[in-house]
Each structure stands twice: as structure tokens, then as C-alpha cells.
Amino acid sequence: MSFELPQLPYSHDALEPHIDTKTMQIHHGKHHAGYTAKLNAAVDGTDLAGKSIEEILGSLDMSNGALRNNGGGYYNHCLFWEVMGPDGGGQPGGDLGAAIDSAYGNFEGFKEAFAKAAATQFGSGWAWLCVHPGGKVEVCQTANQDNPLMPGITCGGTPILGIDVWEHAYYLNYQNRRPDYVEAFFSVINWSEVARRYEAGK
């Protein structure tokens, strides 16, 4: 097997009440596990075996639905679990905080832009905060399991924060109230991990 389902860095109930236990169990144990298995099926026995997920996505043939959907789903969820945590919330400081202030005026400006990207993504998809070489940050959105590492995705950059706005990510607890889920997400963001990714990607 080329790729393995990562263990959650916290318990299934650790993000309560913002993200409920049942959603976490299904989302990680069923959805992410499914993307992992299907990614391996698409990669094993090909010249992609042994390559990192970043290498695979960066040189992806976007007409290859199995790799596009399952490779994206694998990578996106790996990031998603890491940028959340039970001690999350608040605001970033340091260089990341300065970059956000530079791009969006202040944290509230960023929060508004990120929440709008998440709330207005039509159908299933993701909203991202990405870093470009040099340290500039950008909020963008992608459909389905696409992400900014893939060829032709216009927002570009390296994703350092992402929110899953597929219905399976929130519907048990929030039903059709996606904006409420997005607001709750800000209470579980692990800004230390996002800052680490910012430093690595700039």
C-alpha cells in the first residue's frame, strides 16, 4: 500500500461541540478511508508508486478522475485534520499574522474573506488559505476534491489552511446551515500548525 489513512491527532470527540463525534467518526473512518483505498488502487502498479502525494498532484493529468478525486480527497483530508485541534481558535501572530494583516487589513478582514469563500462555494468543495513564494497569502475556493497544488487551479500557492464544505463534513450537526459550521470552524483552527505550514511554504 502506497498511502495509509493517518490517525487523528486527537480523539473523535475532541472538537465538540463545534464538530460532533459522529461526524468525525464517519468523516475520518469512512470518507477519508475510502479516498485512501481508491487512491492506492489508482497508483499501485504504476510509475506513480512510491511518489509523494504532493508529487502526484503537482503533475496530475486532470482528466484522470480516479487520481484527481481520490488523490485530492486524500491530501485535503490529511491537511484538514492537522489544522484543527481541541485547543484551537484565537488569532495567529508572528509572520503569519502579519501576512494576513497585509493581505486583508486585519484578522476580521481575513475571516470575512475565508468565510465568504467557504459559504459561496457552490455544491461540494473547499475553501483555502494559501501561501505564495515570498510569503503572500491568498484565500480561494475549489470544487469537489480539487486543491491548489493541482495544475490549472487558478488560486495557486501552497494550501496551509482548508475547510471541507462537502455536506458530509457538517450535515449531521448543522444540516443546511453551512455558515454556522464555518463560524464554528474558527473555534477549532490550530494556528500553530497553520503557522508551521506557512513557514515551510513561503
If you average pLDDT over residues 61-65, what whole number do you get? 95
Give bridge partners of residue 25 from the DSSP assignment: none
Known binding positions? 27, 77, 164, 168
Q: What does the pLDDT look like over 95-114, one tens digit per residue? A: 999 999 999 999 999 999 99
Q: Shortest CA distance to 76 belongs to which of 2, 136, 134, 141? A: 141
**What residue ranges do the domains of the chain occupy?**
20-202
Q: Does domain 20-202 bear CATH number 3.30.360.10?
A: no
The yes-or-no verdict on residue 33 having pLDDT over 90 is yes
If you average pLDDT over residues 49-63, what whole number do you get? 95
Give bridge partners of residue 129 from the DSSP assignment: 139, 161
- Stated pTM of the model: 0.96
The yes-or-no verdict on residue 1 having pLDDT over 80 is no
The yes-or-no verdict on residue 156 having pLDDT over 80 is no
Known binding positions for Mn(2+)? 27, 77, 164, 168
* DSSP classification of residue 130: E
The residues near 160 (Cβ < 8 Å, ≥ 6 apart) are: 83, 129, 130, 131, 137, 194, 197, 198, 201
Mean pLDDT of the chain, nearest integer: 96
| CA dihedral over 41, 46, 52, 54, signed as positive or negative | negative
Q: Shortest CA distance to 2 belongs to which of 53, 55, 75? A: 53
